[in-house]
Amino acid sequence: MRDSFAILFRVVPAFLLTVAGGLISALVGISHQKLCGLISLTAGTLMGVTLFSILPESAADMKWWEPAIALGSGYVVFSLITKYVYHVCPTCAASHFDEATTHRFGKIATALTIALAVHSTLDGVALAAGREAGQVTIRSGPGKLDLSVLLAVRVHKVSEGLALGALLLGAGFKGLKAVASVAAVEVTTVVCGVLGLGVLRAVSLFRLGAVLAHAGGGFVFLAAHAVLGKMVKHNKLAIVISFVTGVVVIALLNLMIRAL
């Protein structure tokens, strides 16, 4: 019962933050410039949590090349989905969602939904893996990796909801329908977080590290493509500053929690 409450505390707020972002897009709106800055900031948090939390913890119980393979597998999976299905990240898709895409949205809606459901699945699994890793003795100390992953995913979910809501509105979805669609896609975060905890509880520390590194590879993909997609069309310096700020925030957080 306690474990169930713990994972719900992680995945439900992440889900609600995404829906809140979609609601803001639908009812209030947000300028593209501000959205780009927020996207870059959250991309930096994902990169930071991978570099300063996930990889060091995974490498603690694995040979150097094993987390590298797991990381690469996560990156490749997202690359393949983006290439052959649709952009797996709404923040990446926002850079490519032009008028022509809007007119044919009905043809790609299913592919977009599948891609984003996979994305949300990764978020749920990462939250579950972070929570499970926090229950064992690892290099940073129990609970500290969990906190780092939790913060990065939650911050990321806000911009994800804003971007997805903006995409749906641009495709002609009306306010409440857009919000409902955001919720329908993002509920996979909750489902996979709960299911993931049940599965990951029984795996070894080695496999848990591999799962975390695999999730980290997906995060690297999301971070890199969100930033590169924005830099092509927008103020490169502002994008880089926002991205680096996100990385630094996670780095400082890790220094703080390791000192506790």
pLDDT tens figures, 202-238:
666 677 788 889 889 988 998 888 777 666 566 678 8
Q: Which candidate, 49, 38, 41, 40, places its Cα nearest to that of 71?
A: 49
**Which of the two residues, 18 and 138, has the higher pLDDT score?**
18
| Residue 3 pLDDT level (bands cut at 50, 70, 90) | low
pLDDT tens figures, 161-218:
887 777 777 667 777 888 888 888 888 888 888 877 777 766 666 777 888 898 899 8
Q: Which residues contact 129 (CB under 8 A, 6 or more apart)?
A: 149, 196, 200, 208, 211, 212, 215
Q: Is the pLDDT of residue 36 over 90?
A: no
Tokens of 140: 């940073």
Virtual torsion, Cα 35, 37, 43, 44, nearest 10 deg: -160
Q: Is the pLDDT of residue 105 over 60?
A: no
Helix (H) or strand (E) holding 116: helix 105-133
| Residue 1 pLDDT level (bands cut at 50, 70, 90) | low
Mean pLDDT of the region 93-112: 52
